[in-house]
């Protein structure tokens, strides 16, 4: 490709709204243009990168026995109503009506469609396992589309669905996908970590997320320095903390004026914070939920949602809390509230003689004891893990990191097959539900994640495997016919042997061309200057290291291949 013909409109400044480096560089280097909030047009350079990522994904899916299909983006409401997710998906789902007023959505994911498809065609255990996948646009009306391609409202996803006879089959399919994902992200040049994950709205139980490590990541993970424990902090399990046994005293309501925080209450009562319990008030589809943890701990809302068996959970307003018979800032555990679900952290159940709110303004109880003074609706691990906690597996030291979720794998079990009656006949002619898994990769998010990990002040640094082009050939002096001729020859030769090359044939100053080459991020730049012809050797600059190597005439094709293989 000749740069003069390439639709790669590079610009000096990215718009101020571009907060993260991938968003800035994709705009500056002429890879994408914004069409609407969270909706982008991919220009030729981006499209080449995306197709390469897709190709890697295809090869690894096919290697595990995956078969590629293409399902519709427009999906009828009925199948979502059948699975019970039409309501659950809420505002994140783009909904539309046809001319007959029938409801449809733009697919945010495809469990319903694929299960309905397979249900019509798969009858016997002999047809299993079955692994079906597609790569296409997904639509989610994200509450906060941002960071360019990292969180779009239209984005490219690979989604694979596995159908097995039983749990053992699901475990095998899950393992295959887990391994394929590890290979895919490694081939894309990402530094990543698989972590234990919550299953969220997709459902089922048993899930891992693949996190590309980056400070701009919206997800937080913890991992152990001694064992292989690694989890999203939303999911990271915690063991109950034992507390010292002591004689229980009688509960007593005490005045705690002007003490707005748990710290202030404890200071006022001269009690250590570890002997206090605090609460967070939520509203949910199950009504008001009060979640209690030790005063120096934090509540993990995802765990509360799962424990309460709720579908939605958000902060309750002051009026909602008062209507439930409690008081914001003074929420307590003793009886007297109306229609509330009490979810109590398992470590609280080991505490003795603690302080908690009295459900009225300005008062707390002291000497509260589990069992005797209150009975929770649910007792579970609902706490947010902290870096100071010991590893829940081995007691080792934990480290926190930020990550971009580039993929997630789920064991769905029979969640969808039971709802949608997708069954098969086993060897004995007995009808059984299909055992399913689902596995997603954010292809467009992967492209952005690579840039988050691999760039410098000058621009993007593409790993060779997914670079839009491998080599830029840059003649230093466009007015010099000899240089231009040599540059042409090099370009023609490289292109002919399948090395993807751009010839910067513009009548620009060398500095401008060098800057663009660095911005776009080709792994290699061949500089054609006055000495190139005289010395009969090629000057090759490696984008990642800045190193310049020289290859003598006759050997430079091999040299370029060798360099690319290492990038």
Residue 413 Cβ vs Mg ion, minimum distance, rounded to whole Å: 17
- If you write DSSP's letter for every residue of 287-326 in order, what string do you get? EEEEEEEETTS-B-HHHHHHHHT-S-EEEPPHHHHHHTT-
Question: Which among Mg ion, ligand ATP, none contacts residue 510 (Cβ within 5 to 8 A by kind)?
Answer: none
- If one asks whether residue 234 binds ligand ATP (CB under 6 A), the answer comes out as no
Near ligand ATP by CB under 6 A: residue from 66, 152, 295, 459? 152
- If one asks whether residue 157 binds ligand ATP (CB under 6 A), the answer comes out as yes
CB atoms within 10 A of CB 163: 25
Near ligand ATP by CB under 6 A: residue from 442, 459, 463, 529? 442
Q: What are phi and psi of 106, to 5 degrees?
A: -90, 125
> By the 8 A CB rule, do 403 and 193 touch?
yes
**3-class SS string, 103-147:** EEEECCCCHHHHHHHHHHHCCEHHHCCEEEEEEEEEECCCCCCEC
Residue nearest to ligand ATP (CB): 442
Residue 196 Cβ vs Mg ion, minimum distance, rounded to whole Å: 13
Closer CB to ligand ATP, residue 70 or residue 534? 70
Measure the CA–CA gap between 209 and 197, rounded to whole angstroms. Answer: 6
Q: Which residues pair with 403 in a beta bridge?
A: 213, 219
Beta strands in 313-462, from DSSP E residues, in sequence order:
313-315, 340-345, 354-357, 363-368, 378-380, 398-413, 423-425, 431-433, 435-442, 455-456, 459-460
Interface positions, 243-282, toward Mg ion (CB under 5 A):
none
- If one asks whether residue 107 binds ligand ATP (CB under 6 A), the answer comes out as no
- If one asks whether residue 405 binds ligand ATP (CB under 6 A), the answer comes out as yes
Interface size with ligand ATP, residues (CB under 6 A): 17
Residue 234 Cβ vs Mg ion, minimum distance, rounded to whole Å: 10
- Give the 3-state secondary structure of residue 155: strand
Near ligand ATP by CB under 6 A: residue from 277, 344, 398, 406? 406
- If one asks whether residue 408 binds Mg ion (CB under 5 A), the answer comes out as yes
Interface positions, 479-498, toward Mg ion (CB under 5 A):
none
Near ligand ATP by CB under 6 A: residue from 151, 297, 337, 346? 151
Here's the x/- map for ligand ATP, 115-144, by CB under 6 A: it reads as -------------------------x-x--
Q: Is the peptide bond before 562 cis (omega within 30 degrees of 0)?
A: no
CB atoms within 10 A of CB 45: 27
173's tokens: 């399919």
CA torsion angle 284 290 295 299 (round to 10): -20
19's tokens: 């907060």
Here's the x/- map for ligand ATP, 343-362, by CB under 6 A: it reads as --------------------
Near ligand ATP by CB under 6 A: residue from 445, 470, 525, 543? 445
Tell the burial category of 68 from Cβ atoms under 10 Å away from its Cβ (0-12, 13-18, 19+): middle
Residues in the chain: 567
Closer CB to Mg ion, residue 156 or residue 366? 156
Q: Which stretch binds ligand ATP (CB under 6 A): 124-132, 168-176, 272-280, 437-445?
A: 437-445
Q: How many Cα neighbours within 13 Å face the side chain of 384?
A: 16
- Give the 3-state secondary structure of residue 545: coil
Residue 85 Cβ vs ligand ATP, minimum distance, rounded to whole Å: 12
Q: Which stretch binds Mg ion (CB under 5 A): 101-109, 316-324, 408-416, 489-497?
A: 408-416
> By the 8 A CB rule, do 201 and 89 touch?
yes
- If one asks whether residue 216 binds Mg ion (CB under 5 A), the answer comes out as no
- If one asks whether residue 408 binds ligand ATP (CB under 6 A), the answer comes out as yes
Residue 149 Cβ vs ligand ATP, minimum distance, rounded to whole Å: 6
Q: Which stretch binds ligand ATP (CB under 6 A): 223-231, 260-268, 422-430, 438-446?
A: 438-446
Residue 453 Cβ vs ligand ATP, minimum distance, rounded to whole Å: 15
Measure the CA–CA gap between 531 and 497, rounded to whole angstroms. Answer: 25
Residue 199 Cβ vs ligand ATP, minimum distance, rounded to whole Å: 9
Interface positions, 201-220, toward ligand ATP (CB under 6 A):
202
Residues interacting with Mg ion, by CB under 5 A? 408
Residues interacting with ligand ATP, by CB under 6 A? 109, 140, 142, 151-152, 155, 157, 200, 202, 405-408, 440, 442, 444-445
């Amino acid at each position: 490709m000749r740069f003069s013909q390439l639709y790669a409109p590079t610009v000096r400044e990215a718009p101020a709204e571009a907060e993260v480096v991938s968003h800035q560089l994709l705009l500056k280097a002429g890879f994408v243009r914004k069409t609407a909030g969270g909706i982008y047009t991919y220009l030729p350079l981006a499209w080449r990168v995306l197709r390469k990522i897709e190709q890697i994904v295809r090869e690894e899916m096919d290697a595990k026995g995956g078969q590629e299909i293409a399902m519709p983006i427009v999906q009828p409401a009925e199948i979502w109503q059948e699975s019970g997710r039409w309501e659950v998906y809420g505002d994140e789902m783009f909904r539309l009506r046809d001319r007959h007023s029938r409801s449809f959505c733009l697919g945010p994911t495809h469990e319903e469609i694929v299960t309905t498809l397979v249900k019509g065609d798969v009858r016997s255990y002999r047809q299993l396992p079955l692994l079906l996948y597609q790569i296409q646009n997904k639509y989610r009306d994200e509450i906060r589309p941002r960071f360019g391609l990292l969180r779009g409202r239209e984005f490219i996803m690979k989604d694979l669905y596995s159908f097995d006879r039983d749990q053992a089959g699901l475990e095998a399919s899950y393992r295959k996908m887990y391994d394929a994902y590890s290979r895919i992200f490694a081939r894309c040049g990402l530094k990543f970590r698989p972590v234990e994950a919550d299953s969220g709205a997709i459902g089922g139980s048993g899930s891992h997320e693949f996190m590309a490590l980056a400070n701009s990541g919206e997800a937080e993970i913890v991992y152990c320095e001694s064992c292989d424990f690694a989890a999203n902090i939303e999911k990271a399990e915690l063991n109950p903390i034992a507390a010292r046994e002591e004689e229980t005293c009688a509960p007593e309501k005490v005045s705690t004026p002007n003490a707005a925080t748990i710290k202030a209450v404890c200071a006022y009562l001269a009690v250590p914070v570890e002997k206090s319990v605090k609460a967070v008030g939520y509203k949910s589809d199950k009504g008001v939920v009060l979640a209690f943890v030790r005063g120096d701990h934090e509540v993990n809302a995802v765990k509360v949602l799962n424990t309460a068996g709720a579908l939605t959970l958000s902060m309750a307003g002051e009026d909602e809390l008062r209507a439930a018979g409690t008081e914001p800032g003074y929420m307590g555990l003793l009886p007297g509230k109306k229609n509330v679900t009490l979810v109590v952290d398992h470590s609280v159940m080991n505490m003795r003689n603690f302080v908690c709110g009295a459900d009225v303004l300005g008062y707390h109880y002291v000497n509260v004891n589990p069992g005797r003074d209150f009975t929770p609706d649910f007792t579970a691990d609902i706490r947010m893990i902290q870096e100071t906690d010991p590893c829940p597996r081995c007691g080792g030291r934990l480290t926190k990191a930020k990550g971009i979720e580039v993929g997630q794998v789920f064991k769905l079990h029979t969640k969808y097959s039971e709802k949608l009656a997708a069954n098969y006949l086993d060897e004995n002619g007995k009808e059984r539900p299909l055992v399913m898994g689902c596995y997603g990769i954010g292809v467009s998010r992967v492209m952005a994640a690579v840039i988050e990990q691999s760039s410098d002040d000058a621009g993007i640094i593409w790993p060779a495997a997914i670079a839009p082009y491998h080599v830029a050939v840059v003649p230093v002096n466009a007015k010099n016919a000899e240089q231009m001729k040599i540059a042409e020859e090099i370009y023609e030769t490289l292109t002919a042997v399948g090395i993807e090359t751009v010839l910067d044939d513009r009548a620009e100053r060398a500095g401008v061309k060098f800057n663009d080459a660095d911005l776009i991020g080709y792994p290699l730049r061949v500089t054609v200057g006055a000495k190139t012809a005289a010395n009969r050797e090629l000057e090759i600059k490696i984008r990642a290291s800045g190193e310049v190597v020289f290859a003598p005439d006759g050997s430079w094709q091999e040299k370029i291949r060798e360099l690319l293989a290492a990038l």
